[in-house]
Structure 1
Amino acid sequence: MLCSIQWTLYWEAKVSFTVQLDTGSTDLWVAAPNATLQLTNSTSLNISATYGTGTVSGFIQFAELQIGQYTVPSQVFINVDQADSGQRQFLSDGVDGIMGMAFLDDTASSIFDAIDQAWGSGSTSLANSVPVNIFAQNSSAPDFFDINLSRDIDLDGNTLGLFAISEHIPGFENVTQTPKLYRQNPDRWAIAMDSLQVNGQAFTFNKSSLSTIPAGKVGAVLDTGASLPQLPGPAIDFIYGSIPGALSDGDIGWIVPCYGTTNLTLTFGGQAIPIHPLDLTYIDFFVDPTSGMNITICRNAYNALSLGPNFTGFDLLLGDSFLRNVYASFDFGDAGTTNNSFIQLLPTTDPSAAWTEFVLARAETLAGLPPIADPPVLELLIEYETNSTSSDNSTSTGDAGDPTDSLSGAIQNDDTTNSTPSSNYQTTDSNAVNLLDKYGPVVVGLLAGNILISLLLLIVGLVACTRGWMRKGARSAPSYVPVRLKEAAMAEDMDYRSSTSYNRP
């Protein structure tokens, strides 16, 4: 999600930057190679910040920050002057930086850690993040912010994103009546998830890696900086194995019929949150090895999670493909506490209308794309990807170790528990055609002016901040690279899919 912010230049015009709002990190950084900033303070501390897509580095500096109706006289930030290839790609997509909305300590914040080490704990207030400084300006205002990522059904129009500070957006006030989901990790917006159900059948997770999570539940991080959710590999198989015609291509993931879907529901605090079918798959392209022509395929949007065996920060990560299904309120709670922060989620997907919306929107998109791959071509694609993965594994110089020792976090070890659930949705292509016959005139109308666009990530082109949230903006470039949690990027790369003790469908 993007939000336009402004740094005030005392002797020049204001310079506006577009940054990603990231609930998975804490620091603010901006890459402004062509801008002259009037700094309020500067340091000789040159630091790096690491994300799943790469690393940026620069000096810790201070400048006046304006965001909506709020002004921070001297906000600390990293003035980035170096970025590796992954972050250069991020910056090339029209984004100038990241504004972290998570918690402040030496684990989550590179700025906090550097200032603490350089000048001691008495100076760490200088490292205050943007939300901390904004909430400090008005002690009577509640310390929360709200985010709502909408979905653009017709794909070539504008999309609306909502962001508010210390107030609920009109129409979503009922979020205050939803369960309070208290933070389970001192550094991140991690909450307890009750269950994952596919067509009414629950997936059984192992015991959570977080000691604070009650038995039978798992720890989920809500991260606006990640486009695609990441779950243990067996849970991914449980979801996509329920879709008729879906094919597993080994460790890569699943290839799914483009009109195929399933009924996925996540439950938090006893409240069920249905997931829209549009958020379960995305469109991809491949070259037919027999004809050399481009073909269209659809892949799993929920991906397998890779973490080290000793990682204890969370069990799964829910990015934008989940967050588009809720209005989310992030409340910091009382200052100085470690467990008083909470999230409230208001479901926004209507399951009774979602499948029809999915078929119409998918038909609109596919109409302007190369033909969908036939089953024989899919078999060749899977064989190619499987052989490619096997080749990569065979040339690895790392020590894989005993695969039974790689298990960690929320994976069910019982071979008999998680059989593939039967599908309640009629999701074959023939049924989709029947629905299209019913709504054909509507689809034809939608096809006018259709453009080629990737569904990898909903990214809001212009998001108005605080009271200006009603503005609309153009859809951004679809090549945006997601940002992951720093801990996940630094953890050992141990794929849950390497487990041999789990019965896959």
Structure 2
Amino acid sequence: MGTKIAGHSITDRVPLKKAKSIRQSLKEHGLLEKYLQTHHHNLGSKYFPSLASENAAEPLENYMDIEYIGTIYIGTPPQEFVVLFDTGSSNLWVPSVYCSSPACSNHNRFNPQDSSTYQATSQSVAVTYGTGSMTGFLAYDTVQVGSITVTNQIFGLSETEPGSFLYYSPFDGILGLAYPSISSSGATPVFDNMMSEGLVSQDLFSVYLSSDEQGGSFVMFGGIDSSYYSGNLNWVPLSSETYWQITVDSITMNGQSIACNGGCQAIVDTGTSLLAGPPNGIANIQYYIGASQSSSGETQQGYCLSGFQSITIPTQSGDLWILGDVFIRQYYSVFDRANNQVGLAPVA
């Protein structure tokens, strides 16, 4: 898992597993069609919460197809939680025993009374994602991620998790890996504490997401495993130190530019399954791959689902693209906090 010298972890690899999709769970319960009809989605609300309308408190986006999840532990003695490692958000939160929402009833819940290292605060926290939201309060406790132990980590304990999306999710909570500038209530992210406590040898982490039904996916804190990619890492400077946001030069197919003409802004987001972008650009891509819209609003080609989704996230520099798991599966991805850049190389 990792190496320790004088009590400090040099690198640490946390295995991730590809979970059963929420789409599958809804289908098995006969709820998918009704869910798609009644939950109008706006993926943009994850990045700009004001985009979530009052009538769509739990917007749906197709990240319900696939999630890559791993296990962490909180408290003393440790309480186990399955979390989504999300480079598109910055807060760590898990369900708590104070939560009575249906989504908390079938997931692990943190009990502060069972932890001798727990420290409460009076601060509240609220986080909105493209697929759901949580409200609760902040506290401090010991968090174990792989063989790394972070002391006095601030995290959220949910009191409400409205809607049904999180009820069907294969994870208990979320561990955000973006910058502290976008952390709700100013809570210090887990990786920032790993860096400040000297628990990683390099101020970066890397991600490998396996394709198809293969295992072996991981997030590695403090290191890069060059055996998982071919060629050299291509380093792309961040255009904003909020999300892992970069400038994309163009999107081409067979040498022809079909979207992002003249450049566009994009976020590398492990917490989103698909590759999402503005309607015109996505429509061009769907046309060129021969995909068509289904009656349920999903884009299909035969029995396959397209990996592209239309969204509108306006920014000062144009509409934002989201490079989710369908993109990240193609590239070993390095998230470098020391130099504020993303490194990408084709997977081996």
Q: State TM-score, norm by structure 1.
A: 0.49
- The answer to whether the 8 A contact 1:221-1:314 is kept is no
Determine helix, strand or coil for the equivalent of 1:57.
Answer: strand
Question: Which residue matches 2:323?
Answer: 318
Report the number of matched residues: 267
How far did 1:139 drift?
Answer: 7.8
* Higher strand residue share: 2
Unpaired runs of at least 5, structure 1: 113-126, 207-215, 259-296, 334-339, 350-505
Residue type of the alignment partner of 1:135? M
Match of 2:263? 217
Q: Give the whole-Å Cα distance in 2 for the aligned partners of 1:173 and 1:318.
A: 18
Report Cα offsets for 1:182-203 as digits up to 9, x if no partner.
1111211011112211232112
> Structure 1 76/314 Cα, relative in aligned 2: closer, same or farther at 3 Å?
farther
Residues 99-122 of structure 1, C-alpha deviation per residue, up to 9 Å, x if partnerless? 0000012xx11120xxxxxxxxxx
Measure, in 1, the Cα distance between the counterparts of 2:140 and 2:342: 30
2:170 is aligned to 94
Mapped partners of 1:71, 1:347: distance in 2 = 31
Structure 2 counterparts to residues 228-377 of structure 1, below 5 A: 228-243=274-289, 246-248=291-293, 252=297, 254-256=299-301, 258=302, 297-308=303-314, 315-333=320-338, 340-348=339-347
How big is the shift at 1:89? Answer: 2.5
Specify the alignment match of 1:103 in structure 2: 179
CA contact (8 A) 2:179 2:242 kept: yes
Alpha-carbon distance in structure 1 between the residues aligned to 2:204 and 2:134: 28
The structure with the largest alpha-carbon Rg is 1
Measured in 1, the distance between the counterparts of 2:318 and 2:288 equals 29
Determine the C-alpha separation between the residues in 1 that align with 2:227 and 2:155: 34
With over 3 angstroms needed to count, the CA separation of the structure-2 counterparts of 1:135 and 1:183, relative to structure 1, is same
Paired residue for 1:392?
A: none
Given the alignment, which residue of 46, 60, 75 partners 1:8?
75
Q: Give a deviation string over 1:464-504, Cα, whole Å, max 9, x none.
A: xxxxxxxxxxxxxxxxxxxxxxxxxxxxxxxxxxxxxxxxx
Q: Deviations over 1:167-210 (max 9, x none)?
A: 112513767x322101111211011112211232112535xxxx
Partner AA of 2:160 in structure 1: Q
| Whole-angstrom distance in 2 between the partners of 1:60 and 1:146 | 28
Asked whether the 8 Å contact 1:254–1:299 carries over to 2, the reply is: yes
How far apart are the structure 1 equivalents of 2:111 and 2:293?
Answer: 51
CA offset at residue 48 of structure 1? 1.1
Report the CA distance shift for 1:188/1:75 in structure 2 as closer, same or farther (over 3 A): same
Q: Partner residue of 2:111?
A: 36
> Does structure 1 conserve the Cα–Cα contact (< 8 Å) formed by 2:93 and 2:155?
yes
**SS state of the match for residue 175, structure 2?**
strand
Q: Which residue in the other structure is 1:179 paired with?
A: 234
Q: Do structure 1's residue 147 and structure 2's residue 207 form an aligned pair? A: yes
Q: Is the 8 A contact 2:139 2:155 kept in 1?
A: yes
Q: Structure 2 residue aligned with 1:136, among 196, 206, 214?
A: 196
Q: Distance in 2 between matches of 1:19 and 1:249?
A: 32
- Which of 135, 138, 155 pairs up with 1:60? 138
Q: Report deviation, 1:143.
A: 0.3
Matched letter for residue 341 of structure 1: N
Cα separation, 1, equivalents of 2:304 and 2:229: 36
Q: Is the 8 A contact 1:181 1:343 kept in 2?
A: yes
Percent identical pairs in the alignment equals 27
Whole-angstrom CA distance in 1 between matches of 2:294 and 2:341: 38
Report if the CA contact (8 A) 2:264-2:318 is conserved. Answer: no
The answer to whether the Cα contact below 8 Å between 2:241 and 2:340 also exists between their aligned partners in 1 is no
**The structure with more helix, counted as a fraction of residues:** 1
Task: State the 1:59 CA deviation.
Answer: 1.0
Contact 1:148–1:161 (CA under 8 A) maintained in structure 2: yes
Structure 1 counterpart of 2:189, which letter? Answer: S
In 1, distance between residues paired with 2:272 and 2:199? 31
Uncovered stretches (5+) of structure 2, i.e. residues with no partner = 1-67, 98-108
Determine the structure 2 residue equivalent to 1:165: 221
CA gap of 1:254–1:73, structure 2 versus 1, over 3 A, is: closer
Deviation at 1:254, TM superposition (A): 3.8
Local SS of the residue matching 1:184:
strand
2:202 & 2:185 partners in 1: Cα distance? 26
Q: TM-score, normalised by structure 2?
A: 0.70
